[in-house]
Amino acid sequence: MNESEVRDRAFAMPLGNPAYPRGPYRFVNREYMVITYRTDPEALRAVVPAPLEVVGDEVKFEFIRMPDSTGFGDYTESGQVIPVTFRGEAGSYTHAMYLNDEAPIAGGREIWGFPKKLADPAIRVEKDTLLGTLDVGSVRIATGTMGYKHRELDHRTALHSLQAPGYLLKIIPDVDCSPRICELVRFQLTDLTVKGAWSGPAGLELQSHALAPVAGLPVQEVVSAVHILTDLTLGLGTVVHDYLAPG
């Protein structure tokens, strides 16, 4: 293989057998349970990178079931998303994500900079309760509960919440472990179809873990919860700030 062939074929590792196909990526019947809670605003400011600005004291803890996704297959993820603004525009910063499938871990980190780590999240219905759990090894670090389909939510409200831009801190190290890439990436969900949306009472418990510190943003008060079923496309990202640029 000559150098030109390497350049033509290279888009993901390993070169001869990439961990995931080229995007964009379509998700069918993607199911969200999102519990919004209040936390310590100082803790939020300590984890959100400038030039993003924290808005208020809220965090969204997400449990997401993805049974049919292009190239990534069938998997579940969970994590924390923080409302922010960037140059005056409202959006969200993805602070932590935990999931159980190697392809979207590799693709999410390498393409966009999603902060994905391997764990074992789950979302299921138990009688009258929508239950979300997140385990790291044998340790349960998050449990979310929500009344199942208590109140129908206006689909336009759900659509608006999914259309807001998201922001990620993408870090790729050089061979000496210094940052080769350190960028703020903007992404957006497109081609959205909301198939169902509900709200209801909710509870959330977070437990301490040295390598999965979700409890570093402690639950002070649960504000609201939504349950959404949707089809969508995860578009490719845009670099909006380069931390390594001169000046």
Choose the weakest-confidence range: 15-19, 27-31, 92-96, 212-216: 15-19
Q: What is residue 31's three-state secondary structure?
A: strand
Average pLDDT, integer, range 139-151? 98
Q: What is the pLDDT confidence band of residue 247, given thresholds at 50, 70 and 90?
A: confident
Give the rounded percent of residues in the chain with a pLDDT score beyond 90. 97
Q: What is the pLDDT confidence band of residue 20, given thresholds at 50, 70 and 90?
A: very high
What pLDDT, in 10s, does the model give residues 42-95? Answer: 999 999 999 999 999 999 999 999 999 999 999 999 999 999 999 999 999 999
Average pLDDT, integer, range 101-129? 97
Residue 140's pLDDT is: 98
Q: Which of 60, 116, 117, 170 is catalytic?
A: 116
- The rounded mean pLDDT for the chain is 97
Average pLDDT, integer, range 119-124? 98
What does residue 193 show for φ and ψ, rounded to 5 degrees?
-130, 115
Residue 12: pLDDT over 80: yes
- Note if 127 is an active site residue: no
Q: What is the pLDDT confidence band of residue 135, given thresholds at 50, 70 and 90?
A: very high
Residue 236: pLDDT over 80: yes
Q: What is the pLDDT confidence band of residue 147, given thresholds at 50, 70 and 90?
A: very high
Fold of 21-242: Acetoacetate decarboxylase-like (2.40.400)
